[in-house]
Amino acid sequence: MKNKYSKVDKTRILLIYTGGTIGMVKDYDSGALKAFDFNKLISNIPELGQLDCAIDSITFDVPIDSSNMNIEHWVNIATIIEKHYDSHEGFVVLHGSDTMSYTSSALSYMLENLQKPVIFTGSQLPIGDLRTDAKENLITSIQIAALREDNKPVVQEVGLYFEYKLYRANRTTKINAEHFEAFASLNYPALIESGVHLKVNREYLLRPNTAKRLKVHKEMDQNVVIIKLFPGFNQTVLHSILNSPNLKAVVLETYGSGNAPTEEWFALELKKAMERNIFLINVTQCSGGSVLMGRYETSKHLQKLQIINGKDITTEAAITKLMYLLGNNISPKLFKTIYETSLRGEMQ
């Protein structure tokens, strides 16, 4: 469903509502939350009328809770952006916060050669709540999407805006279910900080190759899994997971700087999986920091196996990068090299 909110002689921003708390209002008769009517956007948020841009809106036919987000929905978002890429200068995606880092990371890979802003945002409280964070997040996200210098967008990548900060989307993770500051980017600085003025940290912005046109990738392979190590993790469980039908790749969340048990069975199971052409990615389960295989004795056996080094990538960006590369049928001989290369600024 598509709506228009302003004239078309200004910078045009497309608002894509997928679902989530930000699009909810409270029914004061029943006390229940219900979907916001985007036809009444200006009347409910009159501040939007002060923005120097034209706002169009598309709403998912059936708005979904982000816990139900899947690859089909990612493709839907990417397709909407592809369809309106030439007619709009920026995009704001309203999304539930629970899986926002996964979706926005996936979109960063799916939108190759992106030269316009795609800003994800949401809220912890519904848009109609008295103390809501939804209005600020929405208004500033639209402002950022409309920012231009020398007739070019300031931001030319997929970002995630929440509580006064714009982050590179594929660098984020959700860290809090209750505070307004719900997201963090511990391994990469904020791209923009919102205060009295918008402070743009230009040195951290991604600069795409302007000679290439947008290419939208819609094939994502979901035959992947995340394994988080913990004391007591045993061979039976690992063997069962690694021998799952159709499994193609694993994100292995290790301790600290990429450390794992040194028991013989552990390395043996990993080696057998690799012999079956299952890709293994070593990422740290710490919120910040990087994998440094070989730094400690407990990671030298992983280094010897030639497990793929996830460096400082987030788990969300790691798993979606796997889906993207597998979906594009990358050669097994090149897979490790390509994975360990930063494609969209997702790793150092």
Return the HEC string of 10-51.
Answer: CEEEEEEECCCHHHEEECCCCCCEEECCHHHHHHHCHHHHHC
| Other Cβ atoms closer than 10 A to 85 | 19
| Other Cβ atoms closer than 10 A to 285 | 15
Residue 126 tokens read as 């519904």
Q: Of 111, 17, 129, which Cα lies nearest the Cα of 65? A: 17
Helix, coil or strand: residue 90: strand
Residue 314 tokens read as 């987030």
> Annotated catalytic sites, by residue?
21
Q: How far is CA 302 from CA 200, 244, 262, in A?
A: 40, 21, 9
Q: Is 292 exposed, middle or buried (0-12, 13-18, 19+ CB in 10 A)?
A: middle
Going by the DSSP 8-state scheme, the letter that residue 130 receives in this structure is T
**CB under 8 Å to 132, separation ≥6 — which residues?**
123, 125, 126
Going by the DSSP 8-state scheme, the letter that residue 122 receives in this structure is -
173-174/308-309 β-pairing: unpaired
- The whole-angstrom separation of Cα 221 and Cα 198 is 38
Return phi, psi of residue 314, to 5°. -75, 160
* HSE of 227, CA atoms in CB hemisphere, 13 A: 25
In the block, tokens 């003025």 appear at: 197
